């Protein structure tokens, strides 16, 4: 199985001045949902892992969060894609939990559910805490220059505070552009040689 774990805020939807508390406030980053669809069409499963401390702070309830994610699912379906599930941490920053990123608990739940080897999971997001959770998982790490990372440019030095080995991409679409040709090339047999399956290049509460 091929698995990508995405952050939500800043990666799939723009960051606002405060928490997104209703479906009306949720909009997609241009091109992000189309990138999810392209991953799906190439055989990748896409799961979202997101910290939602607004729940723990009482700024919105689970019904409102479900409505936000229902809108997200409908919009990605409208462009031919699918997000398999959303795993979220509902705890505030001062609560003692193992699922709030940068702790890896949320990502561990996803990996265990889908049964993918740690090194085969692609973790993609626009903020350091998501990538540090991915590093603790042992996944492959990808920063997209949207959300908190919008001022960054691919090819520049990796900013301090990001895990070593993080690859930088202009957008989620750019990540897909670079991932899929690698996958296709690795699966192409060399003429005159036996065909060997190549390994996949080096992923709370669930809402399906």
Could you report the per-residue pLDDT of 92-121, keeping only the tens digit for each?
Answer: 988 989 999 999 999 999 999 999 999 999
Q: Which two tokens stand for residue 101?
A: 């990123």
pTM beyond 0.85: the answer is yes
**All domains of the chain in start order, with CATH:** 2-186+200-207 (3.40.50.1000)
Could you report the per-residue pLDDT of 111-159, keeping only the tens digit for each?
Answer: 999 999 999 999 999 999 999 999 999 999 999 999 999 999 898 888 8
Catalytic center residues: 7, 9
pLDDT surpasses 70 at 206: no
Give per-residue burial for 102-138: e unless 16+ CB within 10 Å, then b: bbbbbbbbbbeebebebebbbbbbbbbbbbbbbbbbe
Could you report the per-residue pLDDT of 162-203, keeping only the tens digit for each?
Answer: 999 999 999 999 999 999 976 555 554 434 333 222 222 323
Of residues 23 and 159, the one with the higher pLDDT is 23
Per the listing, tokens 């540090």 go with: 132
DSSP label at residue 150: T
Query: Beta strand 205-207 with 85-89: parallel, antiparallel or unpaired?
Result: antiparallel
């Amino acid at each position: 199985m091929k698995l990508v774990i995405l952050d939500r805020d800043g990666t799939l939807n723009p960051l606002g001045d405060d928490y997104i508390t209703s479906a009306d406030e949720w909009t997609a980053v241009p091109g992000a949902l189309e990138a999810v669809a392209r991953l799906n069409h190439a055989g990748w499963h896409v799961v979202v892992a997101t910290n939602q401390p607004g729940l723990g702070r009482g700024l919105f309830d689970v019904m409102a969060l479900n409505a936000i994610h229902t809108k997200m699912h409908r919009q990605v379906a409208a462009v031919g894609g699918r997000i398999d599930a959303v795993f979220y941490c509902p705890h505030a920053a001062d609560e003692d939990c193992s699922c709030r990123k940068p702790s890896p608990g949320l990502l561990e739940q996803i990996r265990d559910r889908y049964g993918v080897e740690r090194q085969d999971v692609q973790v993609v997001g626009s903020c350091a805490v998501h990538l540090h959770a991915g590093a603790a998982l042992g996944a492959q790490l990808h920063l997209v220059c949207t959300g908190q990372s919008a001022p960054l440019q691919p090819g520049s030095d990796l900013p301090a505070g990001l895990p070593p080995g993080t690859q930088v991409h202009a957008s989620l679409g750019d990540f897909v552009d670079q991932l899929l040709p690698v996958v296709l090339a690795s699966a192409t047999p060399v003429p005159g040689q036996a065909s060997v399956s190549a390994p996949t290049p080096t992923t709370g509460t669930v809402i399906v």
